[in-house]
Amino acid sequence: MKPQSAFEREPARRVFASELRETRYQFKDGEDEKSPTYVILPSGIRSNRIFIAGTLTEKQRQGDQNIFYRGRVVDPTGTFFIMAGSYQPEAMQQLARIEPPAFVAVVGKPNLYTTPDGNCLVSVRVESITVVDRETRDLWVLDTARETLDRLDAFGTTDDSKKAQEEYGTQPDLYKKIVYDALTQVQL
């Protein structure tokens, strides 16, 4: 008898807002309707879940029958746009209870939208959101800096990073500067 494989979630990648904002390449891994959707981050790794931390600076309730919340989370490099709706009822309730400004940690799925005028927007569909303290936010900055530098060190050696180079023309030194600037804002 063949053992059943356990369901495993994809790891949530740590990514700075300025890198996620530049993400433009999204694809499905398979032909099935329920096949996972990934983005290729400019630093050269695929991701269908991300882990972010920062300051929730604003949130808005929208919709009458289909209620959802939109919010902005700011890290040392820029802004993430987040949303949670009726398809994520627990996440929507968590976001509804948090009053900005507050440090938050968010796990969610990145989604790309193309506007009618051709601009690409990136938002994060929240799976969970939790209030954290400044120390936790600062530790996230340190971990995200390390993971970004690890991806840049491997840049050009993996299939995902070769695809990132093809899609974005990534300049690793630019992202190393972003990491440096983020680290200067951490209080140790």
Q: Is residue 79 part of a domain?
A: yes
The total of structural domains in the chain comes to 1
Q: What is the pTM of this model?
A: 0.92
Instruction: Give φ, ψ of 47 to 5 degrees.
Output: -155, 135
Q: Is residue 7 part of a domain?
A: no
Q: Is residue 49 part of a domain?
A: yes
Q: Is residue 20 part of a domain?
A: yes
Distance of CA 91 to the CA centre of its chain: 15
Q: Is residue 138 part of a domain?
A: yes
pLDDT tens, position by position, for the chain (188 residues)?
A: 455 556 777 899 999 999 999 999 999 988 888 888 999 999 999 999 999 999 999 999 999 889 999 999 999 999 999 999 988 999 999 999 999 999 999 999 999 999 999 889 999 999 999 999 999 999 999 999 999 999 999 999 999 999 999 999 999 999 999 999 999 998 77
**CATH number, domain containing residue 108:** 2.40.50.140
Q: Is residue 8 part of a domain?
A: no
Q: Which domain holds residue 94?
A: 13-184
